[in-house]
Structure 1
Amino acid sequence: MVVKAIESYEQFKSLIEGDKPIIIDFWATWCGPCRVIGPIFEKISDTPAGDKIDFYKVDVDAQEKISAEVGIQAMPTFVIFHKGQAVKKIVGANPNALQTGITEIANGL
């Protein structure tokens, strides 16, 4: 699956309210660790978990309202939403924690 950018607050609200879980990569263009883990996030989206979870990314500088509502304080931060609720948050460029978190949610469905 392709990782899609969230381009508006309205799009964000609509996506998180859906029945299918989504994971959002909150990143910034100037963030070195974000550039390192970004390709790993994209690879994970192509695994079987990508069939159960939709993958998105939010540029924290371009979408400040979304970042503020979610309470993003560090980049990268990955947040999994399901039915309007944040169900898991992974802070930092930690591929193992990211894979484990995604697997837990995908297997819990």
Structure 2
Amino acid sequence: MGVQVISSYDQYKQAISSDKVVVIDFWATWCGPCKMISPIFEKISETPAGQSIGFYKVDVDEQSQIAQEVGIRAMPTFIFFKNGEKVETIVGADPSKLQAAINKFAA
């Protein structure tokens, strides 16, 4: 399915309220580590994990209301949600931690 860009607060609320696990990449255009891990996040979304997990991106500068609500303090931050609840948070551009969390929820 690939990575979908969240461009409104309503779209964000709809995405996280799913009973399917979703992971959101909170990033910024000026963030170097975000640019480094973004292609990896995209690639993972195209694996079989992308069938069982929803992959989304939020630009924290464009969607400051969402970033504030979830308490983003560093980029990139990957937050996993299920039924509207945070179930996991990964801060930083660490491909192995990200892959491990995705594997856990895709299983």
Distance 1:60 1:53 in 2: 21
Once the two structures are superposed, residues 16-73 of structure 1 have per-residue CA deviations (whole angstroms, 9 ceiling, x without a partner) of 1111111000000000000000000000001111110010000000000000000100
Aligned to 1:31: 31
Q: Which residue of 2 aligns with 1:97?
A: 97
Per the alignment, residue 55 of structure 1 pairs with 55
- What's the secondary structure of 1:81's corresponding residue? strand
Gaps in structure 1 of 5+ consecutive residues: none
Structure 1 segments of 4+ aligned residues over 4 angstroms from their partners? none
Aligned residues: 107
Unmatched segments (≥5 aa) in structure 2: none
What TM-score do you get using the length of structure 1 for normalisation? 0.96
| Cα RMSD after superposing both structures | 0.6
Identity %: 60
Where 2:25 maps in the other structure, the secondary structure is strand
Cα separation, 1, equivalents of 2:15 and 2:45? 17
What are the residue-to-residue correspondences of 1:1-109 with 2, within 5 Å?
A: 1-107=1-107
